[in-house]
């Protein structure tokens, strides 16, 4: 038998390799899609929502509407930015809202002080509220890191402590009638109208950053 007439024994092997490679390729694509949905699912959903709203409402993408949306979510956005650091290291913080309320009540009491001029009261209120947030975050982070108490339990306790402290320092009363200068400061803009700066949200961002620094000691 001539060499050219010999049967090609490699064909079944190649056929089997192609048959095995097809399912592996499909599995790899499925794994990639699943990973994308798991890691970027929220971002994709947000983009789809923006696309749907922009299609249904012609004025949704107007500058005034976008500015209004960003203004409304400013505090939550800053809080979420700080919370990201805690979640990245595998922790959780349930006391975010209560500590923000506590810091705001302390700032309100400082603003309503009759012994300080308004500019000094505003400055002291900002510094005091940031200090309150950082101290609460340091307490949370210290207990979690050095006493090995789960962050869920620690921050759940801090939630009730901060809520009670906010009621205690104000005698469970609503604070109102702030100086006009403070109202102007709270609605101040940078650069152009609409670029609003909500300083109150930075209180919790600083608190969560302090908690992140302590958590990192684990």
> Each residue of 155-180: pLDDT tens digit?
999 999 999 999 999 998 888 888 88
| pLDDT of res. 37 | 78
Q: Residue 124: pLDDT above 50?
A: yes
Residue 26 confidence (pLDDT) above 60 = yes
Least Cα distance to 200 among 111, 98, 130, 123 occurs for 130
Other C-beta atoms closer than 10 Å to the C-beta of 52 total: 11
Whole-prediction pTM: 0.68
Q: Is the pLDDT at 182 greater than 60, yes or no?
A: yes
| Mean pLDDT over each residue of the chain, to the nearest integer | 79
Rounded mean pLDDT, 89-115? 90
**Of 8-22, 70-84, 108-122, 152-166, where does the model show the most confidence?**
152-166
Q: What share of the chain is helix, strand, coil (3-state, %, to 5)?
A: 75, 0, 25
Provide, rounded to the nearest whole percent, the portion of the chain with pLDDT above 70: 74
pLDDT over 90 (residue 13): no
pLDDT reading at 208 higher than 70: no
Mean pLDDT for 183-187 is 74
Which DSSP string corresponds to 77-142?
A: HHHHHHHHHHHHTT---S-HHHHHHHHHHHHHHHHT-SSS-HHHHHHHHHHHHHHHHHHHHHHHHH
């Amino acid at each position: 038998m001539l060499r050219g007439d010999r049967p090609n024994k490699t064909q079944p092997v190649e056929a089997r390799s192609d048959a095995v490679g097809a399912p592996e390729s499909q599995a790899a694509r499925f794994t990639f899609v699943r990973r994308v949905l798991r890691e970027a699912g929220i971002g994709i959903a947000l983009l789809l929502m923006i696309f749907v709203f922009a299609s249904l409402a012609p004025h949704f993408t107007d500058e005034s509407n976008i500015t209004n949306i960003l203004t409304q979510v400013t505090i939550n956005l800053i809080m979420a930015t700080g919370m990201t650091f805690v979640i990245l290291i595998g922790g959780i913080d349930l006391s975010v809202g209560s500590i923000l309320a506590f810091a705001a009540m302390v700032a309100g009491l400082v603003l309503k002080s009759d012994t300080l001029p308004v500019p000094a009261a505003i400055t002291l209120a900002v510094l005091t509220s940031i200090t309150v947030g950082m101290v609460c975050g340091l307490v949370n982070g210290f207990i979690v890191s050095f006493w090995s108490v789960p962050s869920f339990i620690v921050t759940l306790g801090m939630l009730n402590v901060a809520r009670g402290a906010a009621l205690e320092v104000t005698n469970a009363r609503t604070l109102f009638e702030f100086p006009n200068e403070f109202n102007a400061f709270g609605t101040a803009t940078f650069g152009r109208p609409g670029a609003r700066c909500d300083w109150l949200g930075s209180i919790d961002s600083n608190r969560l950053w302090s908690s992140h620094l302590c958590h990192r000691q684990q």
